[in-house]
Amino acid sequence: MKSKKLSLIGILVGFLLFVSIAYAGVLSYYGKIVGSVNVQPPIFYAHSESETYDKTYYLFKANMLPDGTLKEISAGIYQSDAGEYDTIIDIGWLFPQVSSWYPSNWNFYYETKIENANKAKLFTRIFKFDTSTNTKTLIKECPKTDYTTSTTYTTITSSCEIPSITLESTERILVEYWATIDVDAGVLGKVYLKVDDPTSTNPTRIEVTPA
Question: Do 144 and 113 belong together in one domain?
Answer: yes
125: domain CATH number is 2.60.120
Q: Does residue 4 sit in the same domain as residue 104?
A: no
Same domain, 95 and 29: no
| Confidence (pLDDT) at 69 | 85
Q: Specify the pTM.
A: 0.83
pLDDT tens, N- to C-terminus, the chain (211 residues): 444 444 444 433 343 443 343 344 345 445 544 444 456 789 999 999 999 999 999 999 999 999 888 999 999 999 999 999 999 999 999 999 999 999 999 999 999 999 999 999 999 999 999 999 999 999 999 999 999 999 999 999 999 999 999 999 999 999 999 999 999 999 999 999 999 999 999 999 999 999 8
29 and 107 assigned to the same domain: no
Q: Which one, of 129, 120, 136, 125, lies nearest residue 74 by Cα? A: 120
Q: Are residues 136 and 205 in the same domain?
A: yes
Same domain for 70 and 30? no
Question: Are 30 and 52 in the same domain?
Answer: no
Together in a domain, 24 and 60: no
User: Are 83 and 111 within one domain?
Assistant: yes
Per-residue pLDDT, 211:
86
| 85 & 117 share domain | yes
Please tell me the total count of domains within the chain: 2
pLDDT of residue 68: 83
Structural domain range at position 134: 42-210
- Same-domain pairing of 72 and 150: yes
Looking at the fold, whether 49 and 32 belong to one and the same domain comes out as no
